[in-house]
Chains A and B, each alone.
Chain A
Amino acid sequence: AQSVTQLDSQVPVFEEAPVELRCNYSSSVSVYLFWYVQYPNQGLQLLLKYLSGSTLVKGINGFEAEFNKSQTSFHLRKPSVHISDTAEYFCAGYGTALIFGKGTTLSVSS
């Protein structure tokens, strides 16, 4: 079955600390992978995507993700977070349709 699993439902961090949001996908999901960000009461905005090529993908707002085929992972990272990064983050993978993980709430405090 196609699935995308976000391993942490909530990640609290302090401002300027590094952060990693973890995502694993099932092998039946194709290698088209995405991270979306959702700010409160807004739609989803594409953060970055992996379609092919370099396994390290850079996105907006200083985020990056690394596609790891052997571990079927697509973890999202940022070396130094800001208060404004507080949001819900969704990992998604494309099989016959776009499959979303359940989301990770990133809470950045000062």
Chain B
Amino acid sequence: SQTIHQWPATLVQPVGSPLSLECTVEGTSNPNLYWYRQAAGRGLQLLFYSVGIGQISSEVPQNLSASRPQDRQFILSSKKLLLSDSGFYLCAWSRAGVNTGELFFGEGSRLTVL
């Protein structure tokens, strides 16, 4: 069966510090991968998605970036965090070639920027 894991689960960082959130998927090949952000009291905002290694599409301009160094690994990064980067970050995957939109989510990473 397929599993998705992301870490760390919680993170408290000062403004201006770097960020790295990691997500890995097991049990499937060539998944589509996604990073969403969920701010307090808001819905889910799609940040990045990837259909293959090294292929990243950005949905929202910001100081965050994403990379996919391996087929089942997706990394969210920032060189300098802002207060507004605080939120709950969710990684998700979907099956390649299946265009129904069904996503499978990780457990989430809560980032607090102070």
- B43 contacts A103, CB within 8 Å? yes
By secondary structure, the B interface counts as: loop
- B43 contacts A41, CB within 8 Å? no
A23 to B92 alpha-carbon distance, docked (Å): 22
State whether the Cβ of A98 lies closer than 8 Å to any Cβ in chain B.
yes
Within 8 A of A (CB), among B78-100: 88, 90, 92, 99-100
- B108 contacts A41, CB within 8 Å? yes
Q: How many residues of B contact A (CB 8 A)?
A: 20
* Extra 15 A-B pairs, beta carbons < 8 Å, given A32-B100, A92-B101, A97-B46: A30-B101, A32-B102, A41-B88, A42-B108, A43-B105, A43-B106, A43-B107, A43-B108, A44-B103, A46-B104, A97-B49, A98-B46, A100-B43, A101-B43, A103-B43
Pairs across A and B, CB under 8 Å, 17 listed: A30-B101, A32-B100, A32-B101, A32-B102, A34-B101, A42-B108, A43-B106, A43-B107, A44-B105, A49-B102, A93-B101, A94-B100, A97-B49, A98-B46, A100-B43, A100-B44, A102-B42
Q: Which residues of B approach A to under 8 Å, CB–CB? A: 42-44, 46, 49, 59, 88, 90, 92, 99-108, 110
